[in-house]
Structure 1
Amino acid sequence: MCNLHDSCVLKIAVASDLHAYQHIDGKPLESYLNVLGTTDSASNDPLQHLSNLITHEQLKADLFLSPGDLGNKASVEGIRYAWKSLHEIGDKLQAHLVTAASGNHDLDSRFQNYKYDPTEILQRLIPPYPLPNQVNNDQYWARKFALIQTEHYRLIVLNSAAYHGGQEDEINHGRISNLTIERIAEELSKSDIAPVNIILCHHHPQQFPEIFEDDDTYDIMKNGQQLLNLIGNGEHGNWIVIHGHKHHARVAYSQGYNSAPLVIAAGSFSAVIHPKLQTQARNQFYLLELPLDHQNGFVGTIRAWDWSPAGWSPAMPSGSGLPAVCKFGCRDAAQNLAGKINKILGNDQVANWSSILQEIPELDFLLPSDFKALVHALNNKKFNINVEFDNGIPKEIGRRQTI
């Protein structure tokens, strides 16, 4: 039995790619989480700032998930520090479960610290990793995944780095084997469909072309699309996949069926952002709010915060990764929605956006990318409708005069 903070909403906090490590003076900084303290002062610490944010905003979460890379380059000290810190933050959020999926930096695949087993760093962690129950952990290590079932959600914690330390080239990408997919299918067929179904993993199961460059396709989760096809075929409920790895946030529906899962690429919580990404990504923390029985079906809200040495603040409308508030759930085509709006506007020249939402409430749950497509559809010659914004929030629509 899972007791939620809000009986109608499942809340999930997400912090990905912490990359904690023991920094050496004179070397380039790779993460803002230094187990010996930050380079400037304790006040410039993303974890301390997150604790302050939780207190100030009175944030609560039912689950606290990390999509991997707790440490940097298999740093034993960093992984221990990050795992302990996640549980401390989880306690502050009053989360009933704190868990993580193994990232490529969490496996000692180059055998720097342990001669035989690249997973020993993780299997020695206290509290037990990745789940509190040892039976679940044995399943995670032996079968490459563990499934947690509650009244409100099903959670699959997937080890997409399971083969790191095996064949030499496996360290360059993630993988889910055919056998693991078959076993997940068996488990899903035996378990009950929950209102919310989640896969937590490290590597991306699909490419996002606007983020990943052509030469980055090598590090995708091999067989990832087969996994998405399995959970998106409509037989196993509504799914969200949460992954990390790329340090660039993005949210989109996967390709395939109209019940295809939502895929959330979480930005890095505290790694120093690569120069190529610094105009497109910031360090981010997330809180998902998922109504369990909404009139518009499977919908939700993702809240995002950016970090700077001054602390955590609501994410910027652009250039951060995810904006401060982003919603999902409306899958209607942009042209169809534009036609509905055009009909509501009729011969009127101007209307408040709030009045449009009253008529078409599902509009409030468009992904940012889908909302851009809607604005473009409204602007074309067929409708001649402009959308006016205030600080990135739609306020009014108006029909352009034609000559």
Structure 2
Amino acid sequence: MSRSRLFFIMPFGVRQAGEPPGEHDFDDFYHRLLRPLAIREGWEPLRIDEVVTPGLVTTQALQEILTADLVVADVSSPNGNVYYELGVRQAIAPTGTVLVAVSGTVLPFDIANQRVLFYQKDFENDTAFAHAFADALREWDGGATQSSPVRSALEQLALVAQGPQVDPANFERELNLKIGRAQNHEQLIAVWHWAQKFSPLPTSGLLALAEGFADANDYTQALEVMTLASTSNPDYEILRMRGFYLRHLDDLESAAEEFQRALELNPNDPETLGMLGGVYKRTGNYSQALNCYRRGVALSPRNLYMLVNEAALAILESPGNPQGGVGLYEALLEFVSLDPRLTEDSWASLVRAEAMFAIGDESGFRKELAEAQRQGARPQDVRSVADQLALLGSAGYQSEMAARLEGVARGIAEDQRSGTQAKPALEKAYGLSEARRLVVHLSDPHFGSIMRDGRAIEMHRFFDGENSVRLSAELVVEIRRAANAGNYKPEDISIVVSGDLTYQATVAEFKLVEAFLQELCQELSLQRQQIILVPGNHDVDWRLAAIDVTHRFDNYLTFVRRFYGKELFEKLFPLIAWDFDIATDRPPANNIVLFSVHGPLAFVGLNSCVFETDQDHYGFVGLRQLDLASGLLEQAPREAIKIAVMHHHLHPFPEVLEAREGSDVWLDLSTVRDAGIVEQRLEQLGIDVVLHGHKHKPQLRETLVRHRMDTQGSTERKLVVSGAGSVGVNSRELEHSESNHFALVEVLRSRREADAEFLRVEWREMSYLPGANWATQQRWVING
């Protein structure tokens, strides 16, 4: 069970407080007393300065003020922000607050009648306050620990609805209005946190809220809402929806139990029978599934869902003797084709498509599938046809055709989900290839350590231990999640690591990187050519550079050759002719260029560390390297999506630079020095996407450089530049409030087309808060 959330409103730093006024360190008070006490009592404490999610601070503060289970406000200092936020909390939140203040604080009239827990400035020795504060947290029961006088006044004036116990009809109306106004997942979460403060909650509102979460694919939250509903009203519809959400969370055993409980209350509900049949089908219990669907057909003989699943299960139960199931499909096809009411029905078209497959008519399947798409078939309905074909094919029924048509159906489902226009999907249904790809963009893992004050300081965050696991294990779970969500097969995935694999470029550190990449390949069933690597400034051995500057890439190149193997290395790095003999000349730095074609994607990996040595630390690519890359890109398929990978960033980040001493200038010197010419040439080379790292924070840009010789419309394709933060460095190398980060870049189309959705970029971040998990902080869809 998740911890209750406790939000602190208080001044920051050292302020005047108490009577007589004296200095008081509020940060010290929070970190040394309030926060540890809250954690000990089972709360999840938070101050606004600890929020790491990108966004407006004022919006984030208001969200926490509204949704936190409990708010603690320190009113020791006449701080305008504290009193403003306290007023907002007491106006909009039905549950209240705990007020604390330094002993001697003179309280304003408006809050003088509220209970306040006073503490001594010598708070570490103030056991009376510690006990009182712990008791307040321990005794909180989800209701109003401290009454909300503003909210009470608004209720008495009928300006807001009273609680469900006082005015259930108006409260239910207000709850449904809030749910109806919620336009996204975050707003639904806010409504849910608000609603939980009241009891009892109306069943209609809970059903609507759970449905909203399910539409946003948050089945965990939907299940939580339905669990609350079931405790007060074990209605068969609530039990059925709990089973539905459990099924989507892959807890099939619990889902079956919920459906069976629902059938005990209403044995003649075809919808519950269909859902239970679906669970049995997913677990391979085809006999029980067929029984459920036959009962459903008997109760609802015109129900297409029951009829089509009865036909499929008849084949799955007896794949060696499929005639009975094929006969049911033939009868279903006749029934659907003759009913004029089903002519313009997308679900009926999908049923006809599946029946066409069952009788061996591939052309008919493609035609009906395209027709369903034209009629606006829902993505989940098209995916259900793909799932059905996959089951039938795996059982040995027309396996080759099933595999072909399953891919066609999944592609159209994705087009429907992303809102792609109809024409390309129709072309695809009739056989044109349209492959999607998932690019996992990692950067700056920084495996290794540095010596400080005579001891080794690890610069990498993730290790197997009591409170953490190694990075490879974290990412295997993450990439599988993304692959399952997007129906990506292992061969559809590319992993890009844009430099700074190590911290000091030692042989031992590169062996850690190799073990990391080997585990990703093994666990995710990836081939090594699906891994794209470029060097970063920390992958240059500065100690070797001090001896012989031409040897600075020795350890990196040796590692890359060992990881890929000699044959694949020579294919991916065709410009490197070095025989790896210690006595022979090393390749020029601008020849360390990777070129790889993976399906519709063509990768070119650039070395932005051309001048990185023990003395010079700055990014640079150079025209010579860009000319060499141009020659390699000529080998790419004409319609390929071209992705350039480099370590240093092309563009400055929006940030305030501190004043420097002497003749130094205010400038981000870590940007590629020749960024202007690099950006221009990449556009001229037809590069679609640039992936980079180095900055340890994410950034996404779309750029289009116009030149005075350009004609109108000569080039309109923007360069998409996506920068990843550090996926693995520890907090010493991250700026304040930054998290570890990686990006999921989905290439939605194998051809870039104007006004059609091209990329989906999702940022996954893990903060440094205890027990933090990877979470999506932002997601964008970029048109071509």
Q: TM-score range by the shorter chain?
A: 0.5 to 0.7
Q: How far off is 1:93 after superposition? A: 3.3
Q: Is the CA contact 1:53–1:312 (under 8 Å) kept in the aligned structure 2? A: no
Calculate the aligned-residue CA RMSD, in Å: 3.4
Q: Which stretch shows the higher mean deviation, 302-311 or 285-294?
A: 302-311
CA distance in 2, matches of 1:131, 1:64: 20
Q: Alpha carbons of 1:298 and 1:174: their partners in 2 closer, same or farther (altered >3 Å)?
A: farther
Q: Pick one of 91, 98, 101 that aligns with 2:534.
A: 101
* Map of 2:719 onto structure 1: 261
Is 1:271 aligned to residue 729 of structure 2?
yes
Given the alignment of the two structures, is residue 136 of structure 1 paired with residue 572 of structure 2, yes or no?
A: yes
Are 2:15 and 1:15 equivalent residues in the alignment? no
1:221 positional shift: 1.6
Counterpart CA distance in 1 for 2:677 and 2:668 is 17
In 2, Cα distance between equivalents of 1:78 and 1:266: 21
**Match 1:110 to one of 540, 543, 546:** 543
Instruction: Give matches, 1:351-366, under 5 Å.
Output: none
Q: Give the secondary-structure state (helix, strand or coil) at the position aligned to 2:766.
A: strand
* Superposition TM-score, scaled by structure 2 size: 0.36
From 753, 757, 771, give the equivalent of 1:310.
771
Instruction: Indicate how the Cα distance of structure 1 residues 51 and 190 shifts in structure 2: closer, same or farther if over 3 A, else same.
Output: closer
Q: Distance in 1 between matches of 2:565 and 2:546?
A: 18
Deviation at residue 84 of structure 1 after TM alignment = 2.6
Structure 2 residue aligned with 1:85? 516
Q: What is the CA–CA distance in structure 2 between the aligned matches of 1:102 and 1:302, rounded to whole Å?
A: 23
Residue identity in the other structure for 1:133: F
Contact 1:128 1:134 in 2 (8 A): no
Aligned length: 310
1:119 is aligned, of 550, 553, 577, to 553
Q: Does the aligned pair in 1 maintain the 2:639–2:751 contact within 8 Å? A: no
C-alpha separation in 1, matches of 2:735 and 2:565: 31
Aligned to 1:337: none
Instruction: Name the structure 1 match of 2:474.
Output: 49
C-alpha deviation, 1:91, in angstroms: 3.6
Moved more, 291-300 or 75-84: 291-300
Contact kept in structure 1, 2:608 and 2:620, CA below 8 Å:
yes
- CA, structure 1 residues 297+120, in 2 after alignment: closer, same or farther (shift >3 Å)? same
State the match for 2:461 in structure 1: 32
- For residues 759 and 594 of structure 2, the distance between their equivalents in structure 1, rounded to whole angstroms, comes to 25
Contact 1:152 1:196 in 2 (8 A): yes
Q: Deviations over 1:27-69 (max 9, x none)?
A: 5542214xxx45x547343332222334555555521110011
C-alpha separation between the residues in 1 aligned to 2:746 and 2:702? 17
Q: Is the 8 A contact 1:100 1:130 kept in 2?
A: no
Q: Is the 8 A contact 1:205 1:220 kept in 2?
A: yes
* Deviation larger for 210-219 or 8-17: 210-219
SS of the residue 1:139 aligns to? coil
1:14: Cα distance to partner? 1.4
- With over 3 angstroms needed to count, the CA separation of the structure-2 counterparts of 1:62 and 1:212, relative to structure 1, is farther
Q: Does 1:326 align with 2:326?
A: no
Pairs within 5 Å for 1:215-226? 215=666, 217-226=668-677
Q: Name the amino acid aligned to 2:675.
A: G
Distance change >3 Å, CA 294–CA 74, structure 1 → 2: closer
Counterpart residue type for residue 92 of structure 1? E
1:197 aligns with 2:642: yes
Counterpart position of 1:230 = 681
Structure 2 unaligned regions, length at least 5: 1-406, 412-433, 485-489, 577-586, 659-664, 707-715
Task: Measure the CA separation in 1 of the matches of 2:645 and 2:594.
Answer: 10
The alpha carbon displacement at 1:315 in A equals 2.6
Whole-Å Cα distance in 2 between the matches of residues 148 and 302 of structure 1?
A: 22
Equivalent residue number for residue 287 of structure 1: 744
Q: TM-score, normalised by structure 1?
A: 0.66
- Whether contact under 8 Å (1:43, 1:49) holds in the other structure is no
CA distance in 1, matches of 2:611, 2:545: 17
Aligned to 1:209: 654
Deviation per CA, 1:317-372: give whole Å up to 9, x if none.
xxxxxx2x222227xxxxxxxxxxxxxxxxxxxxxxxxxxxxxxxxxxxxxxxxxx
- Evaluate the alpha carbon distance shift between residue 205 and residue 54 of structure 1 in structure 2; reply closer, same or farther with a 3 A threshold: closer
Counterpart AA for 2:742? F
For residues 479 and 702 of structure 2, the distance between their equivalents in structure 1, rounded to whole angstroms, comes to 29
- Amino acid across the alignment from 1:11: L
CA distance, structure 1, for counterparts of residue 623 and residue 744 of structure 2: 32
Correspondence for 2:600 = 152
Change (3 A) 1:43 1:219: closer
Q: Which has the higher helix share?
A: 2
The answer (yes or no) to whether the contact 1:108–1:114 under 8 Å persists in 2 is no
Q: Give me the whole-angstrom Cα distance separating, in 1, the residues matched to 2:656 and 2:639.
A: 32
Deviation by residue 1:279-323 (Cα, 9 ceiling, x = unmatched) = 2x210122211122477336211122222563642233xxxxxx2
Unaligned regions of 5+ residues in structure 1, if any?
317-322, 331-403
Q: Which residue does the alignment assign to 1:247?
A: 696
Deviation of residue 114 (structure 1)?
Answer: 7.8
**2:480 paired with 1:70:** no
Task: Return the letter of the residue paired with 2:501.
Answer: L
Deviations 1:95-126 (A, max 9, x none): 44112110011110232898661111122222
CA change 1:69–1:216 in 2 (3 A) is farther
Describe the shift of the 1:222–1:275 C-alpha distance in structure 2 as closer, same or farther (beyond 3 A).
closer
Question: What CA distance in whole angstroms lies between the structure 2 residues aligned with 1:149 and 1:48?
Answer: 27
Specify the structure having the higher radius of gyration (Cα).
2
Task: Pick 1 or 2: higher relative contact order, CA cutoff 8 A, min separation 6.
Answer: 1
Mapped partners of 1:306, 1:240: distance in 2: 21
Q: Which amino acid aligns with 2:697?
A: H
